[in-house]
Amino acid sequence: MLEDPLRLFDEGSSKVDDGGTLKDFIMQSTHVLSFKSFDKLGEISSSLQLVNVNDYGAQGDGKSDDTQAFKKAWEVACSSEGAVFVVAQKNYLLKPITFSGPCKSNIQVRIYGSLEASDKASDYSEDRAHWLMFDSVQKLSVKGGGSIDGNGNIWWQNSCKRNQNLPCKKAPTALTFYKCKDLTVEDLTIKNGQQMHVSFQNSENVLVSGLTVTAPEDSPNTDGIHITNTQNIQIQNTVTGTGDDCISIESGSMNVQVTNITCGPGHGISIGSLGSQESKDFVSGVMVNGAKFSGTTNGVRIKTWQGGSGSANNIKFQNIEMEKVTNPIIIDQNYCDQATPCKQQQSAVQIRNVLYENIRGTSASEVGVQFDCSEKFPCEGIVLQNIELQHESGGGAMASCNNVQLSYTGDVNPQCP
């Protein structure tokens, strides 16, 4: 088990003041997660069994259904004493498929070609929520420089977000990792997700690096990277531009480290939404260090529904560049994503101990810093350090602050009235 690298605060402390607590908060160093390394491509051990999907009947012509060939090849790889599952430089058409574990030993998946999703809704009759899924696989490495194409256009056309006369239905997540441990996902392009692109669920010890995630700006609900109930995950050197959150972090996620990422178009990085349908949700130990947002509808956002409970705490947003971003810094404890207005409620998810440090650039909205917190459960221990946000027209941006316990250090513009 990895040490907790993002234990930024004393869990018992509910406030950050201008004395030692604030200083300790800002100066707290964050250790880099260390992950077990997998064999590099050029160093594949001769003892590993090479399992090529072509040897099990895959055509790779972009027209033939290669799902059964992939299933057969996976069964062989999973039952081997260590295997390399090879997807050659061809175009493979696949229906929904689950690569199930646990496996006998380490698995290295090398995707050199392209995987393309079937766009027939009838192919997803048994499970509309997933296309490609790795379930309960330990010590898994997925890389290779290839592409994963969700072929999502038909799903977007039939989304209630595109046509309000249609009922809202689930669409598949392109690539899901569920209950995986000691996982590496590197150097892939994931595009045109039917809904979310890549989802990490109930997983532990995850390294994500060098991903390019793309979909049209108007594609609905196409989150780039989604994290839920996952601990010890590092995301680095990724480029994400979709129709929804570049990265979304939901309940049960702890020790999330995001470094050197580019985001846009999309909805920015979101912690939440939390507390929907009166749920009790927890997120802690999140650090975003080194990011560029361009033209996104939000920058760094924490969003919670009224009526929920739990907490989002120990969060750092550092060294971030904003370019024509709407809502560059935002906490919204009154989030309401529904057709009718949300009722006022007496409970809320507590937001505590959040540092915004070295964030600069331009805001597309007049309000560059917005803290809309709960009257009953105000935001506590919010720190702004070295912030410089201008309106894209050249004037100063404004700040709007409700029910927030706030501290400044260094030069901060804008500041709350």
Per-residue pLDDT averaged across 295-322, rounded?
97
User: Which residues 6+ apart lie within 8 Å of 341 measured at CB?
Assistant: none
Q: What is the pLDDT of residue 290?
A: 98
Catalytic residue among 130, 197, 226, 267: 267
- For the segment 195-206, the average pLDDT, to the nearest whole number, is 98
The pLDDT of residue 342 is 87
- Give residue 3's pLDDT: 36
Residue 235: CB atoms within 10 Å: 26
pLDDT, position 45: 54
**Virtual torsion, Cα 16, 21, 24, 28, nearest 10 deg:** -40
Contact criterion met (CB below 8 Å) for 6 and 30: yes
Q: Is 130 an annotated catalytic residue?
A: no
Indicate if the pLDDT at residue 23 is higher than 60: no
What is the overall mean pLDDT for the chain?
Answer: 90
Q: What is the DSSP secondary-structure string of 381-402?
A: EEEEEEEEEEETTSSB-EEEEE
Please tell me whether the peptide bond between 273 and the residue prior to it is cis, using omega within 30 degrees of 0.
yes
Q: What is the pTM of this model?
A: 0.90
Q: What is the mean pLDDT of residues 262-273?
A: 98
Supply the pLDDT for residue 102: 97
Rounded to 5 degrees, what angle do the CA atoms 287, 288, 292 make?
175
Region 257-272 average pLDDT: 98
Instruction: Pick 344 or 69 by higher pLDDT.
Output: 69
Structure-model confidence comparison of residues 154 and 18, the more confident one: 154
Least confident of 22-31, 188-197, 351-360, 399-408: 22-31
Q: Could you report the per-residue pLDDT of 51-109, keeping only the tens digit for each?
A: 999 999 999 999 999 999 999 999 999 999 999 999 999 999 999 999 999 999 999 99
pLDDT at 46: 55
Residue 29 — very low, low, confident or very high, per pLDDT cuts 50/70/90?
very low
Q: 40-44, 98-102, 113-117, 132-136: lowest mean pLDDT where? A: 40-44
Among 222, 282, 215, residue whose Cα is nearest residue 249: 282
pLDDT at 406: 97
